[in-house]
C-alpha cells in the first residue's frame, strides 16, 4: 500500500526537483481530502498547514498506519513455525548430511568499532522481503525524493491532538498496540516516578552503582546527553533525576540550563518532560535498538544459521526465539539506523550525534551478562528485599525458569552441546562481544547455558519492557524523542507522528511465547524429548504467570512486565 501510494506520487512527476516535491505534496493533500476515514476539518487543516512543509511526515502518517493494521489481521501463529521450513543456509545432500550453502548478507558500519551484518532472509518460505518492499525502503531513504525538513509546530490542545492521532489511526487499539497499563499519565509526580521504578526507566535506575549522598534522596538516574549535537530547531537533552527513599521524585537537574528544579517551582513540569524524553530516547537507542535487536537477536539469528545445521539441538532450541528476526531487523535497520531514517527524522540529534549514541551503546553493553548476576546498590537492594522493585525480582525468577529449561535441553542434546558446531556458534557469538563492557567468557558447559538463556530472556521478557512503548509515544505530553527550543513543554507534532509510526510498527505481533508450537517441537522427525521439555517449560511459565498476577493483585503499585503470558517468542520492531 505504501509503495503504491509512492508510485502514484512519482508516476506523475516530470521536470525539476521542486516539481517532484510539489507533486508529492499535492498527492498527499488529495489523499487527505479523499480519505474514507472522514478526517475532521481541524485535522485536515493542521496537517495541510503545518505538516505539508515536509512531505515525509505529511504522507507517511496518511498511508502507513493502514498497513500496520492489515498486517495484524492475520498475525503469525505458533503453528507457522515448522520443522520442515527451518533450513536456511543449509542443504541436505544425497548422503543425508547437511551442507552449508551461500546466504545473502548485508553489512553496515555504524562506527570504527561497531558494525552489523544482517541476513536478509530467514528460515520460513515467506520470510523475506519482496521486491516491492525493498523498493519502498529505498525510496523512503532517498533524500532527493524525501528531503528532511525539520518542523517545530507544537499543538497544546489535548483534544485536537487526540483527534489527529485517532483520525490517522495512530491511536491505541488501531495501528498502535493496546496498552495494558492503567492510570499511567506520566504527568503527576507520582506517575512520573513510576517510569523509573515500575516502567522503562528501571533499566537506567539499576545502573546506579552507589547510593546517592544527595540531600534529595538515595536514588539517582543520571542521563548526561547534553554534549550530543542537535539540529537547529531543537534543544539539547540531558537530565539527572533524584528520588526519595519512598520512590518519589524530589529534584531534576537540567544539564542544558545548568539548573536544578524541584516540585512546585517554575519550570518543574518542563523539567519532568525533559527527563522523560531523555530517558525514552536513551532506552530506545541503547537498550532496545542496539542491545536487544542488534547485539542479541540479530547476532544470534545470524550465527545459528551460519554455524549450526538445521537438526543441531542448539539451532532447534533457538530457532523459535529468532522467528522472523532477519526480516524484522532488516526493517528495523531501515526505520531506525541510517541517515534520513524515520528515527533520525523524529529525533533532534544530528546524524553524527545519533551514531555516537549507537557507538557508546555498543561499548557500554552488558546485555550478555546473566540477569541474576546483576549487582544492586544497598538502597536498591533494600527495595528489592521489600518487594518494591519487581523488575529485579520477577525478571530474575523468569530467567531462572529459562535457564532450567535450557540446561535440560542441552543435557538431552548430549555430545552435540559441545561438538564442533556448538563451539563454532559460541565462539562466533563471543567475538561479537569484544570491546563491550561485558564480554562472553571462554566456552564451557555453563557458559553455553548462560548464553542461550540470555538470548531467550532478552528477546522475550526484556524486550517486553523496553519494546512495548505505546504508553510513552501516544501523546506529546507523555514522552518522545526530542523537544523544540521554542516550546519545550510538549513534543512537537512532526516528531509525535513519526515516532508514532515507529511505535505502531511494534504492534506487528509474533506468536505468544506460551504457545504449543505443535508443528515444530518434536515434529517433522525431531526427537520426541523436545515436546516433553517444551510442555514442561510452558507449564512452569503458567505457574510463574499466576504467581506474578497474584502478587500484583495485593500490591499497591502496577507492574505488568513480569508476566510471561504477555511475552512473544521473538522480537518485533
Q: Is the dihedral of CA 499, 502, 507, 510 positive or negative?
A: negative
Interval 490-504 mean pLDDT: 95
Return the SS3 of 564.
helix
Whole-number average pLDDT of the chain: 90
Query: Does residue 460 have a pLDDT over 60?
Result: yes
Lookup: cell for 167 = 483520525
At residue 505 the predicted structure's pLDDT band, cuts being 50, 70 and 90, is confident
At residue 17 the predicted structure's pLDDT band, cuts being 50, 70 and 90, is very low
The β-bridge relationship of strands 249-254 and 98-100 is unpaired
Which letter does DSSP use for residue 118 in this model? E
Predicted local confidence at residue 3, as pLDDT: 42
In the sheet that holds 219-223, the strands lie side by side as: 219-223, 239-243, 249-254, 259-261
User: Going by C-beta distance under 8 Å and a sequence separation of 6 or more, which residues neighbour residue 9?
Assistant: 23, 24, 27, 28, 59
| pLDDT tens column, 242-277 | 999 999 999 999 999 999 999 999 999 999 999 999
Predicted local confidence at residue 337, as pLDDT: 82
Q: Which of 124, 57, 120, 62 is nearest to 88 (CA)?
A: 124
Predicted local confidence at residue 210, as pLDDT: 97
pTM for the predicted model, two decimal places: 0.94
Give me the phi and psi of 220, to 5 degrees please: -150, 135
Query: Does residue 10 have a pLDDT over 60?
Result: no
Interval 338-349 mean pLDDT: 92
Interval 458-467 mean pLDDT: 96
Tell me the C-alpha distance between 75 and 510, whole Å: 7
Predicted local confidence at residue 63, as pLDDT: 85
| pLDDT tens column, 109-160 | 887 778 889 998 888 766 665 655 555 666 566 666 788 999 999 999 999 9
78-136+287-566 homologous superfamily: Lipoxygenase-1; Domain 5 (1.20.245.10)
For residues 229 and 350, is the Cβ–Cβ distance under 8 A? yes
Tell me the C-alpha distance between 501 and 505, whole Å: 6
Return the SS3 of 137.
helix
For residues 90 and 25, is the Cβ–Cβ distance under 8 A? no
Query: Does residue 221 have a pLDDT over 90?
Result: yes
At residue 208 the predicted structure's pLDDT band, cuts being 50, 70 and 90, is very high
Pairwise pLDDT comparison (533 vs 115), residue with the higher score: 533
Q: Where in the chain is the domain with CATH 1.20.245.10?
A: 78-136+287-566
**Range scoring the smallest mean pLDDT among 75-89, 267-281, 328-342, 539-553:** 328-342
**Range scoring the smallest mean pLDDT among 375-389, 477-491, 504-518:** 504-518
Tell me the C-alpha distance between 145 and 142, whole Å: 6
Pairwise pLDDT comparison (391 vs 68), residue with the higher score: 391
Predicted local confidence at residue 59, as pLDDT: 87
Amino acid at each position: 500500500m505504501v509503495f503504491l501510494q509512492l508510485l502514484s506520487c512519482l508516476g506523475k512527476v516530470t521536470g525539476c526537483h521542486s516539481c517532484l516535491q510539489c507533486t508529492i505534496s499535492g498527492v498527499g493533500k488529495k489523499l487527505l481530502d479523499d480519505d474514507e476515514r472522514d478526517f475532521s476539518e481541524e485535522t485536515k487543516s493542521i496537517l495541510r498547514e503545518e505538516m505539508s512543509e515536509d512531505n515525509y511526515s505529511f504522507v507517511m502518517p496518511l498511508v502507513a498506519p493502514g498497513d500496520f493494521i492489515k498486517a495484524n489481521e492475520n498475525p503469525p501463529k505458533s503453528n507457522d513455525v515448522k520443522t520442515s521450513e527451518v533450513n536456511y543456509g543449509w542443504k541436505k545432500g544425497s548422503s543425508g548430511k547437511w551442507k552449508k550453502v551461500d546466504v545473502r548478507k548485508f553489512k553496515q558500519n555504524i562506527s570504527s568499532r561497531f558494525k552489523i551484518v544482517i541476513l536478509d532472509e530467514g528460515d520460513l518460505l515467506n520470510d523475506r522481503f519482496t521486491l516491492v518492499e525493498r523498493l519502498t525502503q529505498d525510496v523512503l531513504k532517498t533524500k532527493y525524493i524525501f528531503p528532511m525538513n525539520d518542523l517545530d509546530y507544537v499543538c497544546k490542545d489535548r483534544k485536537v491532538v487526540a483527534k489527529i492521532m485517532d483520525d490517522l489511526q495512530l491511536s491505541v487499539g488501531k495501528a498502535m498496540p493496546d496498552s495494558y497499563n492503567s492510570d499511567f499519565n506520566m504527568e503527576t509526580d507520582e506517575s512520573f516516578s513510576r517510569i523509573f521504578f515500575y516502567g522503562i526507566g528501571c533499566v537506567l535506575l539499576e545502573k546506579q552503582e552507589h547510593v546517592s549522598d544527595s540531600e534529595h534522596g538515595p536514588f539517582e538516574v543520571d542521563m548526561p546527553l547534553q554534549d550530543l549535537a542537535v539540529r537547529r530547531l531543537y534543544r539539547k537533552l540531558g537530565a539527572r533525576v533524584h528520588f526519595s527513599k519512598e520512590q518519589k521524585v524530589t529534584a531534576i537537574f537540567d544539564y542544558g540550563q545548568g539548573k536544578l528544579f524541584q516540585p512546585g517551582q517554575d519550570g518543574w513540569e518542563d523539567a519532568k518532560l525533559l527527563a522523560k524524553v531523555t530517558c525514552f530516547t536513551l532506552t530506545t537507542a541503547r537498550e532496545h535498538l542496539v542491545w536487544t535487536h542488534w547485539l542479541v537477536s540479530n547476532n544470534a539469528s545470524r550465527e545459528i544459521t551460519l554455524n549450526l545445521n538445521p537438526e543441531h539441538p542448539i539451532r532447534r532450541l533457538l530457532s523459535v526465539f529468532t522467528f522472523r528476526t532477519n526480516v524484522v531487523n532488516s526493517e528495523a535497520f531501515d526505520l531506525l539506523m541510517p541517515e534520513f531514517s524515520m528515527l533520525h527524522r523524529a529525533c533532534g540529534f544530528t546524524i553524527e550525534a545519533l551514531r555516537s549514541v549507537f557507538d557508546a551503546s555498543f561499548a557500554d553493553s552488558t546485555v550478555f551478562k546473566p540477569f541474576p548476576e546483576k549487582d544492586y546498590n544497598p538502597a536498591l537492594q533494600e527495595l528489592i528485599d521489600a518487594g518494591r522493585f519487581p523488575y529485579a525480582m520477577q525478571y530474575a525468577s523468569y530467567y531462572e525458569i529459562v535457564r532450567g529449561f535450557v540446561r535440560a535441553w542441552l543435557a538431552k542434546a548430549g555430545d552435540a552441546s559441545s561438538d564442533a558446531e556448538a563451539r563454532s556458534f559460541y565462539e562466533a557469538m563471543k567475538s561479537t562481544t569484544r570491546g563491550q563492557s561485558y564480554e562472553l567468557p571462554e566456552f564451557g558447559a555453563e557458559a553455553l547455558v548462560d548464553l542461550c538463556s540470555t538470548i531467550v530472556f532478552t528477546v522475550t521478557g526484556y524486550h517486553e519492557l523496553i519494546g512495548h512503548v505505546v504508553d510513552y509515544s501516544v501523546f506529546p505530553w507523555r514522552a518522545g524523542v526530542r523537544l523544540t527550543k521554542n516550546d519545550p513543554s510538549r513534543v512537537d507534532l512532526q516528531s509525535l507522528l513519526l515516532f508514532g509510526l515507529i511505535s505502531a510498527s511494534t504492534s506487528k505481533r509474533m506468536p505468544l511465547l506460551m504457545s504449543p508450537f505443535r508443528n515444530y517441537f518434536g515434529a517433522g522427525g525431531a526427537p520426541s524429548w523436545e515436546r516433553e521439555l517444551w510442555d514442561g517449560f510452558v507449564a512452569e511459565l503458567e505457574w510463574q504467570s499466576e504467581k506474578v498476577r497474584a502478587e500484583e493483585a495485593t500490591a499497591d503499585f502496577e507492574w505488568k512486565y513480569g508476566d510471561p503470558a504477555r511475552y512473544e517468542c521473538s522480537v518485533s520492531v
